[in-house]
Structure 1
Protein backbone atom coordinates (compact mmCIF):
# COMPACT_ATOMS: atom_id res chain seq x y z
CA UNK A 1 0.00 0.00 0.00
CA UNK A 2 1.47 3.41 -0.96
CA UNK A 3 2.43 5.99 1.63
CA UNK A 4 0.57 9.22 0.99
CA UNK A 5 2.53 12.44 1.22
CA UNK A 6 -0.37 14.67 0.34
CA UNK A 7 -1.27 18.00 1.89
CA UNK A 8 -4.86 16.99 1.18
CA UNK A 9 -4.85 14.44 3.98
CA UNK A 10 -4.00 17.03 6.64
CA UNK A 11 -6.91 17.74 8.92
CA UNK A 12 -8.59 14.42 8.29
CA UNK A 13 -9.08 13.77 12.04
CA UNK A 14 -10.79 17.14 12.37
CA UNK A 15 -12.91 16.48 9.30
CA UNK A 16 -13.85 13.06 10.68
CA UNK A 17 -15.06 14.75 13.89
CA UNK A 18 -17.00 17.34 11.92
CA UNK A 19 -18.49 14.76 9.57
CA UNK A 20 -19.64 12.67 12.52
CA UNK A 21 -21.13 15.77 14.14
CA UNK A 22 -23.03 16.90 11.05
CA UNK A 23 -24.33 13.37 10.58
CA UNK A 24 -25.71 13.51 14.13
CA UNK A 25 -27.20 16.95 13.47
CA UNK A 26 -28.89 15.63 10.35
CA UNK A 27 -30.26 12.55 12.13
CA UNK A 28 -31.69 14.76 14.88
CA UNK A 29 -32.99 17.26 12.29
CA UNK A 30 -30.96 20.08 13.88
CA UNK A 31 -29.07 21.02 10.72
CA UNK A 32 -28.38 20.02 7.15
CA UNK A 33 -24.70 20.53 6.32
CA UNK A 34 -22.65 19.10 3.47
CA UNK A 35 -18.94 18.66 2.95
CA UNK A 36 -18.04 20.41 -0.29
CA UNK A 37 -15.49 18.47 -2.38
CA UNK A 38 -12.63 20.37 -3.99
CA UNK A 39 -13.25 20.43 -7.75
CA UNK A 40 -10.58 18.48 -9.66
CA UNK A 41 -9.85 17.75 -13.31
CA UNK A 42 -8.67 14.15 -13.84
CA UNK A 43 -5.64 13.75 -16.09
CA UNK A 44 -4.88 10.03 -15.81
CA UNK A 45 -7.32 7.29 -14.87
CA UNK A 46 -6.23 3.71 -14.25
CA UNK A 47 -8.55 1.88 -16.65
CA UNK A 48 -8.39 -1.35 -14.66
CA UNK A 49 -9.32 0.08 -11.24
CA UNK A 50 -11.07 3.23 -12.51
CA UNK A 51 -9.06 5.26 -9.98
CA UNK A 52 -7.76 8.72 -10.74
CA UNK A 53 -3.96 8.57 -10.64
CA UNK A 54 -3.23 12.16 -11.65
CA UNK A 55 -5.39 15.26 -11.39
CA UNK A 56 -5.17 18.99 -10.79
CA UNK A 57 -7.42 21.43 -9.03
CA UNK A 58 -9.98 22.64 -11.56
CA UNK A 59 -10.88 25.84 -9.73
CA UNK A 60 -10.49 27.49 -6.35
CA UNK A 61 -12.61 25.90 -3.69
CA UNK A 62 -14.71 28.10 -1.46
CA UNK A 63 -15.14 26.57 1.99
CA UNK A 64 -15.22 23.03 3.35
CA UNK A 65 -18.86 22.96 4.49
CA UNK A 66 -22.13 24.64 3.51
CA UNK A 67 -25.58 24.12 4.92
CA UNK A 68 -28.42 25.43 7.03
CA UNK A 69 -29.08 25.36 10.75
CA UNK A 70 -32.72 25.88 11.71
CA UNK A 71 -33.25 27.83 8.47
CA UNK A 72 -30.08 29.95 8.76
CA UNK A 73 -27.55 29.51 5.95
CA UNK A 74 -24.03 28.74 7.18
CA UNK A 75 -20.63 28.07 5.69
CA UNK A 76 -17.38 27.23 7.37
CA UNK A 77 -13.91 25.95 6.86
CA UNK A 78 -12.03 23.43 9.01
CA UNK A 79 -8.47 24.32 10.00
CA UNK A 80 -5.85 22.73 12.23
CA UNK A 81 -2.80 24.09 13.95
CA UNK A 82 -0.02 22.19 15.71
CA UNK A 83 1.27 25.39 17.36
CA UNK A 84 -0.24 28.43 19.08
CA UNK A 85 0.22 30.70 16.05
CA UNK A 86 -2.09 30.33 13.04
CA UNK A 87 -0.72 31.78 9.77
CA UNK A 88 -3.29 33.72 7.77
CA UNK A 89 -1.82 32.28 4.56
CA UNK A 90 -3.85 29.17 5.47
CA UNK A 91 -7.01 31.16 4.78
CA UNK A 92 -7.21 32.29 1.17
CA UNK A 93 -8.61 35.62 0.07
CA UNK A 94 -11.28 33.99 -2.13
CA UNK A 95 -12.47 32.05 0.95
CA UNK A 96 -12.77 35.24 3.01
CA UNK A 97 -14.69 36.90 0.17
CA UNK A 98 -17.04 33.92 -0.12
CA UNK A 99 -17.69 33.95 3.64
CA UNK A 100 -18.33 37.70 3.53
CA UNK A 101 -20.80 37.19 0.68
CA UNK A 102 -22.55 34.52 2.78
CA UNK A 103 -22.97 36.98 5.65
CA UNK A 104 -24.20 39.67 3.23
CA UNK A 105 -27.01 37.20 2.44
CA UNK A 106 -27.86 36.98 6.16
CA UNK A 107 -25.93 33.77 6.62
CA UNK A 108 -23.24 32.98 9.15
CA UNK A 109 -19.64 32.16 8.27
CA UNK A 110 -16.90 30.90 10.55
CA UNK A 111 -13.89 28.65 10.92
CA UNK A 112 -13.62 25.62 13.15
CA UNK A 113 -10.02 25.68 14.37
CA UNK A 114 -8.51 22.68 16.12
CA UNK A 115 -5.26 23.07 18.05
CA UNK A 116 -3.91 19.54 17.77
CA UNK A 117 -1.21 19.98 20.42
CA UNK A 118 -3.77 21.26 22.94
CA UNK A 119 -6.64 18.98 21.90
CA UNK A 120 -8.86 22.09 21.85
CA UNK A 121 -11.29 23.29 19.19
CA UNK A 122 -12.67 26.78 18.69
CA UNK A 123 -15.39 28.47 16.72
CA UNK A 124 -13.76 31.53 15.11
CA UNK A 125 -16.38 33.95 13.77
CA UNK A 126 -15.87 35.65 10.42
CA UNK A 127 -15.68 39.04 12.14
CA UNK A 128 -12.52 37.88 13.97
CA UNK A 129 -11.04 36.40 10.79
CA UNK A 130 -11.66 39.68 8.92
CA UNK A 131 -10.05 41.65 11.77
CA UNK A 132 -6.92 39.45 11.66
CA UNK A 133 -6.93 39.46 7.85
CA UNK A 134 -7.14 43.28 7.63
CA UNK A 135 -4.47 43.67 10.29
CA UNK A 136 -2.13 41.54 8.17
CA UNK A 137 -2.96 43.42 4.97
CA UNK A 138 -2.24 46.74 6.71
CA UNK A 139 1.28 45.77 7.76
CA UNK A 140 0.50 44.01 11.05
CA UNK A 141 1.22 40.42 11.94
CA UNK A 142 0.19 37.90 9.29
CA UNK A 143 -1.06 35.40 11.82
CA UNK A 144 -3.10 35.27 14.98
CA UNK A 145 -2.27 33.61 18.24
CA UNK A 146 -4.06 31.24 20.55
CA UNK A 147 -4.24 34.06 23.11
CA UNK A 148 -6.15 36.26 20.64
CA UNK A 149 -9.07 33.94 20.02
CA UNK A 150 -12.27 34.17 22.04
CA UNK A 151 -12.10 31.42 24.65
CA UNK A 152 -15.86 31.64 25.25
CA UNK A 153 -16.20 30.03 21.82
CA UNK A 154 -14.29 26.87 22.73
CA UNK A 155 -16.08 23.78 21.44
CA UNK A 156 -16.25 20.78 23.73
CA UNK A 157 -14.86 17.58 22.25
CA UNK A 158 -16.81 14.65 23.60
CA UNK A 159 -15.42 11.12 23.53
CA UNK A 160 -12.69 12.31 21.17
CA UNK A 161 -15.01 12.36 18.17
CA UNK A 162 -17.90 14.74 18.75
CA UNK A 163 -17.41 18.42 17.90
CA UNK A 164 -20.70 20.03 18.95
CA UNK A 165 -20.56 23.62 17.64
CA UNK A 166 -24.22 24.73 17.66
CA UNK A 167 -23.93 26.50 21.02
CA UNK A 168 -21.05 28.63 19.70
CA UNK A 169 -23.06 29.33 16.55
CA UNK A 170 -25.92 30.54 18.78
CA UNK A 171 -23.54 32.95 20.57
CA UNK A 172 -22.41 34.28 17.20
CA UNK A 173 -26.04 34.75 16.10
CA UNK A 174 -26.77 36.70 19.27
CA UNK A 175 -23.77 38.95 18.59
CA UNK A 176 -25.00 39.54 15.04
CA UNK A 177 -28.43 40.47 16.41
CA UNK A 178 -26.89 42.87 18.92
CA UNK A 179 -24.85 44.54 16.16
CA UNK A 180 -27.97 44.86 13.98
CA UNK A 181 -29.82 46.50 16.85
CA UNK A 182 -27.01 48.98 17.48
CA UNK A 183 -25.82 47.25 20.66
CA UNK A 184 -22.40 46.26 19.24
CA UNK A 185 -19.94 44.63 21.59
Structure 2
Protein backbone atom coordinates (compact mmCIF):
# COMPACT_ATOMS: atom_id res chain seq x y z
CA UNK A 1 0.00 0.00 0.00
CA UNK A 2 1.34 3.44 -0.93
CA UNK A 3 0.62 6.19 1.61
CA UNK A 4 1.35 9.73 0.49
CA UNK A 5 1.74 13.11 2.17
CA UNK A 6 -0.64 15.97 1.21
CA UNK A 7 1.99 17.20 -1.31
CA UNK A 8 1.89 13.83 -3.08
CA UNK A 9 5.27 12.59 -1.85
CA UNK A 10 5.28 8.90 -0.97
CA UNK A 11 5.72 8.17 2.73
CA UNK A 12 8.60 5.82 3.46
CA UNK A 13 8.49 4.53 7.05
CA UNK A 14 11.58 4.72 9.24
CA UNK A 15 13.41 1.46 9.79
CA UNK A 16 13.05 0.02 13.23
CA UNK A 17 16.00 -1.86 14.58
CA UNK A 18 15.78 -5.00 16.65
CA UNK A 19 19.47 -5.81 16.89
CA UNK A 20 20.89 -8.20 19.50
CA UNK A 21 21.97 -6.18 22.51
CA UNK A 22 25.58 -6.72 23.65
CA UNK A 23 25.92 -4.01 26.28
CA UNK A 24 23.83 -2.91 29.24
CA UNK A 25 21.18 -5.57 28.62
CA UNK A 26 18.97 -4.57 31.54
CA UNK A 27 15.96 -6.72 30.72
CA UNK A 28 15.44 -9.87 28.66
CA UNK A 29 11.72 -9.01 28.48
CA UNK A 30 12.35 -6.11 26.09
CA UNK A 31 14.14 -8.11 23.42
CA UNK A 32 12.63 -8.00 19.95
CA UNK A 33 10.34 -5.07 20.74
CA UNK A 34 10.39 -1.66 19.10
CA UNK A 35 10.47 1.49 21.17
CA UNK A 36 6.85 2.11 20.18
CA UNK A 37 5.87 -1.34 21.49
CA UNK A 38 7.57 -0.63 24.80
CA UNK A 39 5.92 2.75 25.19
CA UNK A 40 2.48 1.36 24.32
CA UNK A 41 2.88 -1.36 26.97
CA UNK A 42 4.10 1.21 29.48
CA UNK A 43 1.13 3.47 28.73
CA UNK A 44 -1.25 0.54 29.25
CA UNK A 45 0.41 -0.11 32.62
CA UNK A 46 0.04 3.58 33.57
CA UNK A 47 -3.63 3.47 32.57
CA UNK A 48 -4.39 0.29 34.53
CA UNK A 49 -2.61 1.64 37.62
CA UNK A 50 -4.36 5.02 37.41
CA UNK A 51 -1.02 6.82 36.97
CA UNK A 52 -1.62 8.60 33.66
CA UNK A 53 -3.75 8.58 30.52
CA UNK A 54 -1.36 8.71 27.57
CA UNK A 55 -1.98 7.21 24.12
CA UNK A 56 -0.42 7.04 20.70
CA UNK A 57 -2.07 9.53 18.37
CA UNK A 58 -4.03 8.06 15.46
CA UNK A 59 -2.77 9.16 12.05
CA UNK A 60 -5.60 10.46 9.82
CA UNK A 61 -5.40 9.10 6.28
CA UNK A 62 -7.58 9.45 3.20
CA UNK A 63 -8.08 6.14 1.41
CA UNK A 64 -8.21 6.54 -2.38
CA UNK A 65 -7.79 2.99 -3.72
CA UNK A 66 -9.12 -0.27 -2.33
CA UNK A 67 -9.01 -3.73 -3.86
CA UNK A 68 -11.19 -6.69 -2.93
CA UNK A 69 -9.30 -9.98 -3.47
CA UNK A 70 -12.26 -11.82 -1.96
CA UNK A 71 -15.77 -11.05 -0.72
CA UNK A 72 -14.68 -10.92 2.90
CA UNK A 73 -11.39 -9.05 2.46
CA UNK A 74 -10.52 -5.49 1.52
CA UNK A 75 -6.94 -4.33 0.86
CA UNK A 76 -5.98 -0.64 0.88
CA UNK A 77 -3.62 -0.05 -2.05
CA UNK A 78 -3.23 3.72 -1.92
CA UNK A 79 -3.85 6.38 0.73
CA UNK A 80 -2.79 9.93 1.62
CA UNK A 81 -2.06 11.63 4.90
CA UNK A 82 -4.77 14.26 5.42
CA UNK A 83 -2.42 16.38 7.52
CA UNK A 84 1.26 16.23 8.46
CA UNK A 85 1.85 14.25 11.64
CA UNK A 86 2.76 16.10 14.85
CA UNK A 87 4.18 13.94 17.64
CA UNK A 88 3.65 10.29 18.48
CA UNK A 89 2.07 10.40 21.94
CA UNK A 90 0.08 12.72 24.17
CA UNK A 91 -2.10 12.63 27.24
CA UNK A 92 -2.49 13.83 30.81
CA UNK A 93 -0.40 13.09 33.92
CA UNK A 94 -0.91 14.74 37.31
CA UNK A 95 -2.75 17.61 35.63
CA UNK A 96 0.05 18.18 33.10
CA UNK A 97 -0.41 17.83 29.35
CA UNK A 98 2.33 15.45 28.16
CA UNK A 99 3.26 15.45 24.46
CA UNK A 100 6.27 13.64 23.05
CA UNK A 101 7.95 12.03 20.08
CA UNK A 102 9.68 8.62 20.24
CA UNK A 103 12.69 7.84 18.06
CA UNK A 104 15.18 5.01 17.65
CA UNK A 105 18.64 5.31 16.16
CA UNK A 106 21.26 2.74 15.24
CA UNK A 107 23.94 5.40 15.58
CA UNK A 108 26.10 4.92 18.70
CA UNK A 109 27.71 8.37 18.82
CA UNK A 110 24.92 10.82 17.97
CA UNK A 111 21.23 11.30 17.22
CA UNK A 112 20.63 12.57 13.64
CA UNK A 113 18.27 15.55 13.58
CA UNK A 114 16.94 14.41 10.20
CA UNK A 115 14.76 12.04 12.27
CA UNK A 116 12.73 15.08 13.38
CA UNK A 117 10.65 17.27 11.07
CA UNK A 118 10.18 21.03 11.23
CA UNK A 119 6.41 20.79 11.76
CA UNK A 120 7.05 18.51 14.75
CA UNK A 121 9.44 21.07 16.27
CA UNK A 122 6.80 23.78 15.72
CA UNK A 123 4.17 21.64 17.41
CA UNK A 124 6.42 20.93 20.40
CA UNK A 125 7.15 24.66 20.68
CA UNK A 126 3.43 25.45 20.72
CA UNK A 127 2.83 22.83 23.45
CA UNK A 128 5.65 24.31 25.52
CA UNK A 129 4.28 27.83 25.08
CA UNK A 130 0.96 26.63 26.53
CA UNK A 131 2.76 25.26 29.63
CA UNK A 132 2.52 21.69 28.40
CA UNK A 133 5.40 19.25 28.69
CA UNK A 134 7.08 18.27 25.43
CA UNK A 135 10.18 16.10 24.95
CA UNK A 136 11.82 13.29 22.99
CA UNK A 137 12.26 9.71 24.07
CA UNK A 138 15.31 8.38 22.22
CA UNK A 139 16.53 4.80 22.14
CA UNK A 140 20.11 4.10 21.05
CA UNK A 141 19.24 0.59 19.91
CA UNK A 142 22.72 -0.94 19.51
CA UNK A 143 23.74 -0.09 23.06
CA UNK A 144 20.23 -0.42 24.54
CA UNK A 145 20.15 2.96 26.26
CA UNK A 146 17.07 5.16 26.57
CA UNK A 147 16.90 8.90 27.24
CA UNK A 148 14.32 11.63 27.76
CA UNK A 149 15.60 14.73 25.99
CA UNK A 150 13.86 17.94 27.16
CA UNK A 151 12.63 20.38 24.55
CA UNK A 152 15.19 23.10 25.41
CA UNK A 153 18.33 21.19 24.36
CA UNK A 154 16.41 19.83 21.35
CA UNK A 155 15.40 23.28 20.08
CA UNK A 156 18.91 24.58 20.80
CA UNK A 157 20.42 21.86 18.60
CA UNK A 158 17.73 22.43 15.94
CA UNK A 159 18.45 26.17 15.80
CA UNK A 160 22.17 25.50 15.53
CA UNK A 161 21.55 23.16 12.60
CA UNK A 162 19.30 25.77 10.96
CA UNK A 163 22.23 28.21 11.04
CA UNK A 164 24.49 25.73 9.25
CA UNK A 165 25.82 23.98 12.34
CA UNK A 166 25.95 20.34 13.36
CA UNK A 167 23.16 18.11 12.02
CA UNK A 168 23.07 15.75 14.98
CA UNK A 169 23.08 15.75 18.76
CA UNK A 170 26.21 14.09 20.21
CA UNK A 171 25.70 11.16 22.55
CA UNK A 172 27.65 13.11 25.19
CA UNK A 173 24.91 15.76 25.14
CA UNK A 174 22.37 13.10 26.08
CA UNK A 175 24.53 12.06 29.01
CA UNK A 176 24.82 15.71 30.11
CA UNK A 177 21.37 17.17 29.36
CA UNK A 178 18.97 14.23 29.09
CA UNK A 179 17.50 11.84 31.66
CA UNK A 180 18.27 8.17 31.25
CA UNK A 181 15.56 5.52 31.58
CA UNK A 182 16.55 2.04 32.73
CA UNK A 183 14.28 -0.54 31.05
CA UNK A 184 12.50 -3.07 33.21
CA UNK A 185 9.57 -5.48 33.09
CA UNK A 186 6.51 -3.80 34.63
CA UNK A 187 6.40 -1.33 32.99
CA UNK A 188 8.95 -1.92 30.20
CA UNK A 189 10.27 1.67 30.30
CA UNK A 190 9.07 3.80 33.19
CA UNK A 191 9.63 7.10 31.41
CA UNK A 192 7.52 9.11 33.86
CA UNK A 193 10.24 8.57 36.44
CA UNK A 194 12.58 10.39 34.08
CA UNK A 195 9.98 13.10 33.55
CA UNK A 196 9.72 13.50 37.34
CA UNK A 197 13.49 14.01 37.56
CA UNK A 198 13.34 16.50 34.72
CA UNK A 199 10.61 18.55 36.43
CA UNK A 200 12.47 18.42 39.74
CA UNK A 201 15.64 19.77 38.12
CA UNK A 202 13.70 22.51 36.35
CA UNK A 203 12.13 23.58 39.66
CA UNK A 204 15.54 23.67 41.34
CA UNK A 205 16.91 25.96 38.62
CA UNK A 206 14.05 28.46 38.91
* TM-score tier after normalising by the smaller chain length: 0.7 to 0.9
What is the match of residue 36 of structure 2? 15
Does residue 65 (structure 1) correspond to residue 86 (structure 2)? The answer is no
Q: TM-score, with normalisation over the residues of structure 1?
A: 0.86
Runs of 4+ more than 6 Å apart: none
The answer (yes or no) to whether the contact 1:124–1:150 under 8 Å persists in 2 is no
Structure 2 residue aligned with 1:119: 144
Structure with larger RCO (C-alpha < 8 A, sep 6+): 2
Q: Does 1:153 align with 2:179?
A: yes
| Unmatched 5+ stretches in structure 2 | 1-11, 18-32
Alpha-carbon spacing, 1:9–1:87, altered in 2? closer, same or farther (3 Å): closer
2:168 alignment partner in structure 1: 143
With over 3 angstroms needed to count, the CA separation of the structure-2 counterparts of 1:8 and 1:85, relative to structure 1, is closer
Contact 1:132 1:144 in 2 (8 A): yes
Helix, strand or coil for the counterpart of 1:50? strand
Q: How far apart are 1:74 and its partner, in Å?
A: 0.7
The structure carrying a bigger helix percent of its residues is: 1
CA RMSD of aligned residues (A): 2.0
- Cα 1:167–1:161 shift into 2, 3 Å: closer
Instruction: Give the TM-score taking structure 2 as reference length.
Output: 0.78
Q: Secondary structure of the equivalent of 2:34?
A: helix
Tell me the CA shift for residue 104 of structure 1: 1.2
Flag the 1:127–1:37 CA change in 2: closer, same or farther, 3 A: same
The 8 Å contact of residues 65 and 78 in structure 2, kept in 1 or not, is answered as yes
